[in-house]
Amino acid sequence: MKKRIGVFGLLVALVATSALMAGTLPSAATGSGSAAAGTARTAATTIRIWADRDRKPAVTRVANQWASRRGVTVEVVEKEFGKIRDDLKTVRAENAPDVIVGAHDWTGQLAADGLVLPLFPKKASTAQVPGYALDAFSYGTTTKRLYGAPVAIENAGLVVNTRLARVPKNWADLEKQALAFKNKGDGRLAIAVQQGQDGDAYHMYPFFSGLCGYVFGKNKSGALNPKNIGLGNSKFLKNTALVDKWNRTGLINAKVNGDAARDAFLNGKAAFWVTGPWNIDTIVAKGIKFQVVQVPKIKCKSVPFLGAQGFMVTRFATTHGVTSAAKDLVSNYMLGSGPQVQLSVANGRYPANTKAGKAVKNKYLAQFGRAGQGGVPMPNIPQMGSVWSELGGAWVKATRGEGATKARAAFATAARNILNKIG
């Protein structure tokens, strides 16, 4: 009898401790299930936004201005930039964001996955946003749809150290000045543009487009066509003879990686640097006098790749019952000039909204904005993954100095490889 009470007491003690522990675990009892989460949210509407560390403060401020006017609350969750895209695929509905801040080149992947919602902003909202910025966030295999609201544009430009060189009048002038500068002493670079052994198709793009190269052609509806690879177009291949010349003269050198390019320019060992607005503060801090221009036209206009950042509405907004509010925030409010000016000031990028663009006070940022005119948004279709390494690799093969592959062969091979990879 005594023993039986002992066992019984043991069980009671066990159940009691188990229950006690369970109470301390996060949301154990309140539990999960999308239904529970859905109803809990309607009481006080909350829009959850995923933003990276750099953008979080400004996004929080701007989104709260909208929220207080609408009478809702906003919760901004910090995520590593790349994780915003990747975690969206695996996140549980109750922890998922309604809105994300992301890069335009995610659009194709996220739309193909079905994770983001198409947007149809009213005409008044898009009137001040240039077509190419909207294009950057548009995707579709047959018809294009808009999946995001662009708020910031960034692109590389040619940064000229005006104490060491003049702003080049044209390509020939740039080539002459750069080579003369390089030949003045050891360790000097003609044009500091970063590649490294893996290559860097992004920073090389102005030279690629300057030789009339393009990545993907477009179909009739204006959507990018992954079967039309512009690396192998005959006009470009003909112009690649110039690449062989640049390699011979050392105008461009694949062995210059990001660090080497930056160090050379900051230490006066290069007068020309192809880089983006993220380095403005570094150059200013060094006390270098500089001006930013577009790389001069070579055979075609040497436009840079454009990268746009913006807001997207996820499919979880529907699960959470906040679709209309999330769409109002993204495709109505965020396209306006007011919030874009604030984001631009905080994050040092050129705003997508043209009215906001006129309000940019930072002269270097404005110069970068002008250097991006006519630029090409990085293709946002998922097939772009096959292009980066091939295009970068072709440049490396063709400009690695002694023993370089003939540019024509390097790019033709890359074009064939990309077609094979896309399949």
Partner 1 sequence: MSTALPKPGAGGAAAAARSLPSRLMTAFSGPVGLAVKIVLLGIVNALALWAGVVLAGEGNWLAVGVLVLTTLAIDAIYLLRRGTLPLKFLIPGTIFLLAFQVVPIAYTINVAFTNYSTGHILSKSEAIEGINRNSLEPPADGKTYVMAPARDEDGELVLLLVDEADGSTFVGSPDGIEPLARETVRISPDGVIVDAHDYELVKGNALFTLDKELETYTVPTGGSSAIRPEGLEAALELKPSLRHDEAADTFTRVSDGQVFRDNGRGSFATAAGEELEPGWRTTIGLDNVRRVFQDPLVRDPFVRVFIWTLAFAVLTVGLSFFIGLFLAITLDKKIRFQRFYRTVLVVPYAIPAFLTILVWAGLLNDDFGVVNKLLHTSIPWLFDPTWAKVSVLLVALWLSFPYFFLVSLGALQSIPGELVEAARVDGAGAWQVFRKITLPLLLVAVAPLLIASFAFNFNNFNNIYLLTGGGPPSEDQSIAGATDILISYTYKLAFEAGKGQDYALAAAVSIFIFFIVATISGAAFWRSKALENVR
Which of 53, 80, 131, 198 binds partner 1 (CB under 8 A)? It is 198
Q: Which stretch binds partner 1 (CB under 8 A): 151-159, 209-217, 276-284, 377-385?
A: 377-385
Cβ 268 to partner 1 shortest distance, Å: 16
Residue nearer to partner 1 on the CB measure, 197 or 282 = 197
Residue 325 interacting with partner 1 (CB under 8 A): yes
What is the number of alpha carbons within 13 Å of residue 361 lying toward its C-beta? 4
Rounded Cα distance, 202 and 200, in Å: 5
The residues, any chain, with a CB within 8 Å of residue 305's CB and separated by 6 or more, are: 155, 156, 202, 205, 375, 376, 377, 378
Residue nearer to partner 1 on the CB measure, 225 or 291 = 225
Residue 349 interacting with partner 1 (CB under 8 A): no
CB atoms within 10 A of CB 219: 15
Residue 8 interacting with partner 1 (CB under 8 A): no
Q: What angle do CA 269, 388, 254 make, to 5 degrees?
A: 30
Residue 141 interacting with partner 1 (CB under 8 A): yes
Binding mask 52-81 for partner 1 (x = CB under 8 A): ------------------xxx---------
Cα dist from 153 to 156, 161, 212, 325, 340, whole Å = 11, 24, 23, 25, 11
Residue 77: strand pairing partners: 50
Q: What is the DSSP letter of 275?
A: E
Which of 58, 76, 103, 117 binds partner 1 (CB under 8 A)? It is 117
Cβ 182 to partner 1 shortest distance, Å: 12
Residue 281 interacting with partner 1 (CB under 8 A): no
CB atoms within 10 A of CB 362: 16
Q: What is the DSSP letter of 393?
A: H
Residue 122 interacting with partner 1 (CB under 8 A): yes
Cβ 16 to partner 1 shortest distance, Å: 8
Residue nearer to partner 1 on the CB measure, 1 or 29 = 29
How many whole angstroms from its chain centre is CA 54? 14
Residue nearer to partner 1 on the CB measure, 26 or 287 = 26
Which of 78, 81, 118, 128 binds partner 1 (CB under 8 A)? It is 118
Residue 204 interacting with partner 1 (CB under 8 A): no
Residue 421 interacting with partner 1 (CB under 8 A): yes
Residue 259 interacting with partner 1 (CB under 8 A): yes
Residues 222-241 touching partner 1, rule: CB under 8 A, are: 226
Residues 26-55 touching partner 1, rule: CB under 8 A, are: 28-29, 31-33, 36, 42, 44-45
Rounded Cα distance, 146 and 119, in Å: 5
Q: What angle do CA 191, 196, 199 make, to 5 degrees?
A: 95
346: tokens are: 């905080």
Residue nearer to partner 1 on the CB measure, 309 or 399 = 399
Residues 9-28 touching partner 1, rule: CB under 8 A, are: 10, 13-14, 16-22, 24-25, 28
Residue 301 interacting with partner 1 (CB under 8 A): no
Residue 185 interacting with partner 1 (CB under 8 A): no
Rounded Cα distance, 214 and 199, in Å: 17
Number of H helices, E strands in the chain: 20, 14
Spell out where 31-119 has E strands. 46-51, 73-78, 99-103
